[in-house]
Amino acid sequence: MGPHRVGTRASALARRQTAEVVRLWTALDPDARIEVVEIATAGDQLADAPLERLEGTGFFTSALETALLSGAIDLAVHSYKDLPVAATTGLTVAAVPTRGRVEDALCARDGLTLDGLPSGARVGTSSVRRTAQVRSLRSDLDLMPLRGNVPTRLERVARGDLDAVILATAGLERLGLSTRITEVFSFHRVLTAPAQGALAVQTRAGDRALRAVLGRIEHPPTRRAVTAERAVLHALRGGCSVPVGAFARCVGERVALTAGVFGPDGGRALRVEVEGNDPEATGNDAARRLLAAGAGEILAALKREPRLAGEGSR
């Protein structure tokens, strides 16, 4: 039998995340034959497009999914937050390993924190969710769109083009760049993106033998948490172009979920806290409560129509 072909984006972070999945796999099966295949994605090729229009829409995942469906690769490793919430027919997430840190982090010049940045400081961020929440904390900052890989973003601070950037802590840690962090935001202060810090190992739905093998690296609490978070996003028709945040924790058999929708100008922030036994139902409950609190007005302003799970096609 030939080696299992693992598809990945070619970025340093994607390759590091794939190496982590391979490490987990070979730790359980040292004789496993694994070949890593790098695949270019539309998101990587559209270097100048606003990142908030790409993440969570398939721009970083569709090429890998196409390769899976064609048989060119046997599995793919994704940042879970990049996968669209509507599953692709014929594919499934076979394993969700233990999650990395979920928080967003500030990487600023001179070791500054968010409160320590001077008025008018230039802060780069790739997401409207982060922009909305940071504006509510510091309306006097100049928040600027940001593209490029993690080292490229950090280099803009080093050369003085920006005073700070906001990135995911998990990505920085996976790349060995945690020393560049000057402040980690608690989810109480900056609510994170659904599934942030989590990886999704995707296979063909019919490949039962491989799914059984990969199931050994599954971390059930992480799966339950990200299922609840992504249910919020799905119910609200969200993606990274919509300022929706969600963070769930497993407490015994229950899922404790915090979810929020934030006005892009920083002037309005809605949050709810929900607990339940069923992750998807808990996420849908959170979405209903957000809509009841007025989230629909924020989403309507962004030309998005909210929809609760079960209404219309998935």
Alpha carbons 211 and 199: distance in angstroms, whole number:
15
- Strand duo 254-262 + 244-251: pairing: antiparallel
Q: Could you tell me how many residues make up the chain?
A: 314
Alpha carbons 314 and 311: distance in angstroms, whole number:
8
Alpha carbons 4 and 14: distance in angstroms, whole number:
18
Please enumerate, as own/partner, the contacts of 284-288 that have beta carbons within 8 Å and a separation of 24 or more: 284/231, 284/232, 284/235, 284/308, 284/309, 284/310, 286/228, 286/231, 286/232, 286/246, 286/257, 286/259, 287/231, 287/232, 287/235, 287/236, 287/259, 288/235
Decide: 21 and 6 in contact? Cβ < 8 Å: yes
DSSP state, residue 78: E
Decide: 297 and 306 in contact? Cβ < 8 Å: no
Residues linked to residue 79 through DSSP beta bridges, in sequence order = 199
**Catalytic site positions:** 82
Alpha carbons 307 and 313: distance in angstroms, whole number:
10
Q: How many beta carbons lie within 10 A of that of residue 120, not counting itself? A: 9
Alpha carbons 156 and 148: distance in angstroms, whole number:
10
